[in-house]
Amino acid sequence: MDGLDKAAPRREEPSAGLSEWFLSASLRPESLFQGKLHVLDRVDSTNTRLKQLAAQGAPEGTLLLAEEQTGGRGTQDRRFHSPRGEGVYLSLLLRPQAPVSDLRTLTAWTAVAACRGIESACGAPVEIKWLNDIVLQGKKLCGILVEAPLPERGGRPDFVVIGIGVNLAQSPETFQQQGLDGLATSLAIEGYTTRRSQVALGLLQALERLYRDFPQKRTAYLEEYRRRCMTLGRRVSFLENGRVFTGTALQIENDFALSLLGGDGRPHRVSSGALRLI
Ligand code: BTN
């Protein structure tokens, strides 16, 4: 694809860099991603770049991976630190025909897919912190940002961009410098050594399966989400209509919303936003 600042091509499976060649050769010939996978050397944000390409007509299945993001973005306008060579940063373009009510659940579906992808690559027993954080040993390992610009005329979005960032090689000092001491972790810190290409491949395979399953296999994803969700039974604080409440997380509802028993004794339901474990 023109206009992309691609990383230098690598023919051998790398120990350090991501490899377009390795990823393409490891995917099935009929994979949705064949011929549409691009490894960039440096980009502000793979999500931002892919949204631009989507608006210019890039096909479904276009995938951007980056060695480094200079302006990696998270939910709630937060920054996602993306140091060079230390993580997997990828975005996938889809043009799903499903109803908007199903599209709203894609973040939760992606959380299940990310867990499967990471586990298949290295065996790390990852869990989900509602709604879209993947945690290992109680600390954040991976973040998910799904963006689907709604058209002004209303109706279904023209495209959806699924962004995933996984911490692989960061040291405790890196997280200290980022102000994330005790909050974030990497596969290396927890003793899982694996290549970035291997984790990227695990994610691609899980995302391809997700797209085959979406939205028909909702029950299977919902059950797996519930099983992997470490938030249930925990005391949390959450925002409702701009006010902070505390409560206990009770269950994941059929639309992946979280129901809670508030400290005020009332039931609450949260369908978006972030929670804090307390
Ligand atoms: C979060 O933790 O709030 C979400 C983080 C999502 C990070 C990924 S990295 C690839 C893609 N590009 C971005 O700018 N963000 C997502």
pLDDT of res. 3 = 64
Q: Report how far ligand 1's centroid is from the alpha carbon of 9 (Å).
A: 24
Q: Is the pLDDT of residue 14 over 50?
A: no
Beta bridge partners of 262: 247
How much of the chain exceeds pLDDT 70, in percent? 95
Alpha-carbon distances, residue 128 vs 154, 238, 274 (angstroms): 32, 17, 13
Q: Report how far ligand 1's centroid is from the alpha carbon of 191 (Å).
A: 23
Q: Is 47 in the pocket of ligand 1 (CB under 6 A)?
A: yes
Q: How confident is the model at residue 254 (pLDDT cuts 50, 70, 90)?
A: very high
Q: Residue 275's closest CA among 258, 250, 255?
A: 258
- Give SS3 for 120: helix
Q: Residue 168's closest CA among 228, 109, 122, 133?
A: 122
Q: Is 117 in the pocket of ligand 1 (CB under 6 A)?
A: no
Nearest atom in ligand 1 to the alpha carbon of residue 75 is 3
Average pLDDT over residues 142-171: 93
pLDDT of res. 151 = 80
Nearest atom in ligand 1 to the alpha carbon of residue 87 is 9
Pocket-testing residue among 42, 65, 89, 203, ligand 1, by greatest number of atoms within 8 A of Cβ: 89
Nearest atom in ligand 1 to the alpha carbon of residue 164 is 8
Residue type, 5: D
Q: Report how far ligand 1's centroid is from the alpha carbon of 267 (Å).
A: 31
Dihedral of CA atoms 125, 128, 133, 134 in degrees, nearest 10, equals 10
pLDDT digit string, tens, across residues 241-253: 888 999 999 999 9
Q: Going by CA atoms, what residue is nearest to atom 9 of ligand 1?
A: 165
pLDDT of res. 11 = 40
Average pLDDT over residues 100-129: 97
Q: Which two tokens stand for residue 136?
A: 């290992």
Q: Report how far ligand 1's centroid is from the alpha carbon of 61 (Å).
A: 18
Q: Going by CA atoms, what residue is nearest to atom 3 of ligand 1?
A: 74
pLDDT of res. 262 = 93
pLDDT digit string, tens, across residues 115-152: 999 999 999 999 999 999 999 999 999 999 999 988 87
pTM: 0.94
pLDDT of res. 16 = 57
Mean residue pLDDT across the chain: 93
Ramachandran angles phi, psi of 77, nearest 5°: 55, 25
Nearest atom in ligand 1 to the alpha carbon of residue 71 is 14
Q: How confident is the model at residue 105 (pLDDT cuts 50, 70, 90)?
A: very high
Q: Is 87 in the pocket of ligand 1 (CB under 6 A)?
A: no
